[in-house]
Structure 1
Amino acid sequence: MNNIYQQGLDQVYANHTPLSPVNFLQRTAQVFPERTAIIHGNNHISYQTYVENVNRLASALIARGVKEGNTVSVMAANIPAFLEAHFAVPMTGAVLNALNTRLDAPALAFILDHGECDVLFVDTEYSEVMQQALSLSSRNPLVIDIDDLGCGQTIGSVSYELLLAEGNPHYTDTFITDEWQALSLNYTSGTTGNPKGVVYSHRGAYLNAIGNTLIWPLGEHAVYLWTLPMFHCNGWCFPWTITAAGGTHVCLRHVEPQAIVESFINNGVTHFCGAPIVLNMILNAPAELKLNIPKNIKAMTAGAPPPAAVIKGMESLGFDITQSYGLTEVYGPCVVSQWKPEWADKDEDERAALKARQGVKYPTQEHVDVLAPETMKPVPNDAQTIGEIMFRGNTTMKGYLKNPTATEEAFKHGWFHSGDLAVKHPDGYIEIRDRSKDIIISGGENISSVEVEGLLFNHPKILEAAVVAKEDEKWGETPCAFVTLKPGEQATSEEIIAFCRQHIAHFKCPKTIIFSALPKTSTGKVQKFILREKVRNLPAQAS
C-alpha cells in the first residue's frame, strides 16, 4: 500500500538528472573560464578553451555518426586531447576505451576486436604499434591522428585538429539518459590469458570522482601532475576529480625523475598520484636533483602495497603521502589510509607503518570488508586472521564485457571478490598481506610476500624487491627474493639473508636470493607470474 510520500512525488525531469562526471566541466568553465585548466609544456589552456574543445569534439563525433553504445578507443600519452576525450566521448553516449600504451600489437588487436572499436584516436608516438594492431584486427574504425609531437607518422583519415574544426564550440547536448549507462571500458592486465574488459557506469565514475575529493582535499587552486597513466582506471577518475575541483592538469608525456622534478618546480605542482614504483623512482633520483624538490607536495599512492620504507623516505624529502587501495573493477582507489591527528606524535617508523596500511572505505563506497571466503563471515579485528578483501556498492563495476561467467564468479554471494588477502586491525583498518595466488605456504605456515618485501626495502643497498614461492623438498615452499640493487652497490645473498634473519622470524626469511631487474606492468606492478616461471625452472631446494 502506498504511503503519503509515494503520492504525487514522482521522479520527473525537473528533480532528477542522471549522475555523470561529464557535468563537472560545464560548471567549472562557467565559474572559472579564464583559470588555467591544462598545462602542456609551454601551452596553457584555459577552462573556457577546454570546454569549447570538448564541445567541438563531441559534436564532431556525433556528426560523423558516433552514437550510444559505440566504442571510442584512445591510444595516447597523458596529453590534452586525452583529457578532452574523457568528457567529449561520454557526452555522445559512446563508451571511452583507454588503451594501455605499453601493450604489444596482438594484445591491442584483441582489445579492438573484443571491445568492438568504432573510432580510434592515435597519438603519433604509437602509430607503428597501432598500425600493426589494426592489421591484426577485424575492425575497421575511423582513425584520428593526434600529432601532439608535431613530427609523427600519421595513419588515420583525419587529424585531431581538423576534427575539432568540424565541431561546434557551443554544443551542450548530451546523450546520457541513464546513470547506469556505460561510460568507459578498461581492460585488466591480462597476466594469464586474455585481459577482461571492465565496464564503468556514469554513476560509479561520478561517485568515485567525488570520493577522491572527500578523502584527499584538493582546494580550488590544486595543480595536479599527471604521473599516473590516464589509461589506468581512467586515471583513477582524476580527469573528472581535478576538473570538478577547478584544479589545473599538468600533462607529462614520459614519467622519469628529471621531468617530474622540473614540473614540480616550474609549474608549482601541489598534488600527484602514482604507484609505489613512481615514489621509489623519485626517492632514488640523484641527490642533486632531489635538493630542488619543493616541500609539502601531496602524493597519493596505490596500485601495489607500498613498503613503509618508501613512505618514510618520501616523507623525509618533504612529501605528504596518502596511501589508497583499489582495483580496476572498483574504479581505482576506493579505500584510503585515513590519517588521524592523534598519530602525528608517533615516531617516523610508526607513522610510516600506519600510512602503509590500506585503510578504510571511501564515503562513496558502501561496503568494504575482509571476509573468510569459505563462510563469507568477517574476520576478527585481530591484525592476524587473514581473509579476502571484498567490495559491495556503487563504485563497483557493471561487470566484465561479454563475459557473464567471469562476472558471475566475481560477484558470487553478493560481493565483488578482489583476490587480495588482508587482515583487519583493532581500529578496523585493512592491511594487505598478499594476493591469494602469491601467499607462500611453508611447512603449513602462511608467509606474506608483502611483509618480506617490506623488510627488504629497508636494506640500504636494495632498490627494489619481489618475493615469490620456491619449491622446497622439506617445507613444500620457501620464499625466494628477486632483488635489484641501487646503482653502484654490491651485496651477497648471504648478506641479505642475514639481514632478514635479524628482523623477522627465520621461517619467513628468503632461502634464495636472485639479483635481477623486476618485470613490471605498465602501471608499475611487478609481474610475479614471470618470476614464478623463472623459479619453477630452478631445481627444488633441499633443506
Structure 2
Amino acid sequence: MVFIINAFQPTRESIPPPNVSYQQKQTSGLPTHLHPLNPFPFILRAATVYPDKLALAHPDVEYPTFFTYRIWAQRIQNLAYALIEAGIQPGDRVAVLAPNSPMIADAHYGILAARAIITPINTRLTPPEVAYILEHSGSKLLLIDRGLMQLVQGLKIPFIVNNDTGRIGDPYEDFLSAGRRFSAEKGWAGLDVELDEGAGAVLCYTSGTTGRPKGVLTTLRGSYLAAIANVVEGQISKDSTYLWWASSLAYPHPLSEGNVLLNNRILPMFHAAGWTFPWANVFAFATQITMRTVDYSQIWKHFLNSGVTHYCGAPTVQIGIVNNPAARPLPRSISAIIAGAAPTAHLIGELEKKGIQPVHVYGLTYTYGPFTRCYDQPSWALLSLEERAKLMARQGQSFATAQEVRVVYPPKSEDDQEVVDVPKDGKTVGEVATRGNIVMKEYFRDPEATRKAFRGGYFHSGDLAVMHPDGVIAIMDRSKDIIISGGENASSLAIEQELASHPHVLEVSVVARSHVKWGERPMAFVTLRQEHVSAWKGKHNVFGDELKRYARTRLPGFACPEWVEVVEELPKTSTGKILKTNLRTIAAKL
C-alpha cells in the first residue's frame, strides 16, 4: 500500500499515554461464562494486537489523515468522554450526518462506548426529512460534516461541526481534545460497560418512499453477530483493505422531480450502519480507506495501487466501475459484495475479466444488511456464463449467525398468526420471512408497525420470492413492484434480468403502466451501452421494437414490455438503487 503517512501528525490528545491499558472496567453480577456481546470492544482488541497497523486512511482530501489502531482507539476514547461531558446518557441518541470519513467511522465506536445509540442520517435527504428524523429520534446531539450544514439550518439541536482536517482548530478535533482532558486519564477503565446486549446500538431510518421514514432500532448483540458474519462470508482478514466511497454532491436528474444522485454511490457508512462493515473490518484487523466523493478514476487508482481487496455496492455501481476508461485487469483479486439487485450475466463476465469476484448477498436495513448469500457450487464451473449468472442471481441461503430464511404464504387475515412455507418448487410465490440474531429489535416508537412486521414471531420483509428445491430463495419482486397483467403476475426483476442480457443494454428498470385491455403491462426504461449510443441516436423507437422482439424469445407474452423508453440516466437513490417510484410517476403520466 502506497500512502505517504509520515507527513501527517495526529493531535497531541490523539496519542495514547505510555503503557496504555485496553482493559475495560470490571463488571460484577454476571456469570463467569458470559459477557454481553457488543461490537465496540473490537477496536480495543485491534489496538492490542496490531497497535501500529494502519487502521484508517483518508487520503483524497485537502488534509489527508492516517490513523493506526492505537491512535484511532485513543480518538474513539476521547469521543466517548466528550459525549459524556456533553450530557449524553445511556440510551440517548446521537445523530451523525456525514459522508464516508473518519468522523463517522469514529462515531460507530465512540457513541457505543458512551452507551448511547448512533443515529446515522442519509446525506441525500431534504432539510424537512432531516428535521423529522432528528425530532422523531429525540437525538440529543448532532455530529455534522462541514459540507452538510445547509440541511440543518434553523434547527435547535446542539451540534459539533467537523471540518474533516484532523488538525488543531477543527471544531471536531477540539471536541475530541476536550474529551481527553475530561477523562483525567482514567482511560478505558473509566467508562462504564453496557451490561445489556439487547440495548439499542443503531437507530437507522428507512427511505420513506411510502410515507414518513420509519426508525429501525437494532441491538448491540445483533450488530456484533452481523459483523462477524460479514467477516466470515466476505473472507476479510488482517491482510484485507476495504474501500469506502461516497458522493457528497447533488445534481438535478432529468427523470426525477428533485435532486438525486447522478454519480453512483457505493455503500456509505450511514446506510444501515454500513451493513456493519465498520465493525466487521476492525474485528478482522483490516485497513479501511474512506473517500468523500465518487471519482471512478481515483477508485481505480486505489484498486491498482492501494491494495484494495473488498468493497460493497449495488450492480449499478459495478457497471460504473467496469465501464470506466481506467478499468483494466487487476494484479490481484478483489471481492465485490453485491446487493440491491441481482447482477446480470454480462456484468458478472465484465467483473471477472477485471479480476473482480462478485459475492451476491441479500438483506435489508431491518436485518443489519445482508442475511443471505448465494453460495457458488463446484458444479457451476462447468456451466456457461449465462447459466452460471442465472444461478448466481438468486438470493441464496442464510448467512452465518442468521437463522433460516423462509418463503411463506401471505396471511389469510390481519390477525392470522400462522406462518406456512410455500412448496420448494421454484414457482410458488410467497413472502421472505426470517427471525433470530440479525433481525431488528423494533420499529422505534411504533409498536403497531412492529406488531405487523413480526406476525407469527417472524419478520416479514415485504419481498416476494420463490423457494427452489435446493433450499435457495430467489426474489421475484417487492410486492409493490409486481405487474399484474391480464390476471398473470409478472416479476419486474425477472423481466429486467432478461432484457439486461441484450448486448446493447447497459441498465434497465421495468415498472407497471396502465393498459386498457390487460389492466397493467410492463414498461421498460433503458440506458444503452456507450459504444452503441451513436448507432441508435434518433432511432430509439426502432431500438424499442428490437428489444421487444428480443424479449419475446425469452419471456412469456404477458411479461414482455409493451413500451420501451431509452433514457440517458436512470434515477437513483443515494445508495445506487433505481428509484422505481419516479419511473412509475413518469409512466402514469404517459
Instruction: Please indicate, yes or no, whether the TM-score normalized by the shorter chain is above 0.5.
Output: yes
Residue 461 (1) aligns with residue 504 (2):
yes
Give ranges in structure 1 of 5+ residues lacking alignment.
1-9, 539-543
Matches within 5 A, 1:187-206: 187-206=205-224
Q: For residue 344 of structure 1, what is the aligned residue in structure 2?
A: 381
Q: For residue 221 of structure 1, what is the aligned residue in structure 2?
A: 239
Residue 236 (1) aligns with residue 275 (2):
yes
SS at match of 1:454: helix
Q: For residue 282 of structure 1, what is the aligned residue in structure 2?
A: 321
TM-score, L = length of structure 1: 0.91
Provide the rounded CA distance (Å) in 2 between the counterparts of 1:447 and 1:319.
32
SS at match of 2:288: strand
Identify the match of residue 372 of structure 1 among 401, 404, 409.
409
How far the C-alpha of 1:483 sits from its partner, in A, is: 1.2
Q: Is the deviation greater in 205-214 or in 39-48?
A: 39-48
Residue 498 (1) aligns with residue 549 (2):
yes
SS at match of 1:141: coil
Relative to structure 1, the CA distance from residue 124 to residue 448 in structure 2 (aligned partners, 3 Å threshold; closer, same or farther) is same
Q: Which amino acid aligns with 1:322?
A: V
SS at match of 2:341: coil
Q: For residue 33 of structure 1, what is the aligned residue in structure 2?
A: 51
Relative to structure 1, the CA distance from residue 325 to residue 25 in structure 2 (aligned partners, 3 Å threshold; closer, same or farther) is same
Provide the rounded CA distance (Å) in 2 between the counterparts of 1:11 and 1:310.
54
Aligned-residue RMSD, C-alpha: 1.9
How far the C-alpha of 1:519 sits from its partner, in A, is: 1.7
Provide the rounded CA distance (Å) in 2 between the counterparts of 1:469 and 1:378.
28
Residue 532 (1) aligns with residue 584 (2):
yes
Provide the rounded CA distance (Å) in 2 between the counterparts of 1:447 and 1:315.
31
Provide the rounded CA distance (Å) in 2 between the counterparts of 1:306 and 1:409.
32
TM-score, L = length of structure 2: 0.84
Matches within 5 A, 1:123-522: 123-131=145-153, 135=154, 137=155, 140-148=156-164, 159-168=171-180, 170-172=187-189, 173-227=191-245, 228-286=267-325, 289-291=326-328, 293-374=330-411, 376-487=419-530, 488-489=533-534, 490=536, 491=540, 492-516=543-567, 517-522=569-574
Residue 51 (1) aligns with residue 63 (2):
no
Q: Which amino acid aligns with 2:161?
A: D
How far the C-alpha of 1:292 sits from its partner, in A, is: 5.8
| Cα contact 1:324–1:333 (8 A) shared by 2 | yes
Query: What are the Cα deviations for residues 12-55 of structure 1, in whole angstroms up to 9, with x where unaligned?
Result: 25332210011111111100001110111053310011101101
| Cα contact 1:58–1:88 (8 A) shared by 2 | yes
SS at match of 1:437: helix
Q: How many percent of aligned residue pairs carry the same amino acid? A: 41
Give ranges in structure 2 of 5+ residues lacking alignment.
1-27, 246-266, 413-418
SS at match of 1:234: helix
| Cα contact 2:329–2:355 (8 A) shared by 1 | no
Bigger relative contact order (CA 8 A; separation at least 6): 2
Provide the rounded CA distance (Å) in 2 between the counterparts of 1:247 and 1:519.
34
How far the C-alpha of 1:213 sits from its partner, in A, is: 1.5
Provide the rounded CA distance (Å) in 2 between the counterparts of 1:247 and 1:150.
21
Provide the rounded CA distance (Å) in 2 between the counterparts of 1:510 and 1:162.
58
How far the C-alpha of 1:167 sits from its partner, in A, is: 2.2
Q: Which amino acid aligns with 1:195?
A: P
Provide the rounded CA distance (Å) in 1 between the counterparts of 2:528 and 2:393.
22
How far the C-alpha of 1:214 sits from its partner, in A, is: 1.9
How many residues of Structure 1 are paired with residues of Structure 2 in the alignment? 516
Relative to structure 1, the CA distance from residue 467 to residue 103 in structure 2 (aligned partners, 3 Å threshold; closer, same or farther) is same
Provide the rounded CA distance (Å) in 1 between the counterparts of 2:132 and 2:411.
35
Relative to structure 1, the CA distance from residue 312 to residue 374 in structure 2 (aligned partners, 3 Å threshold; closer, same or farther) is farther
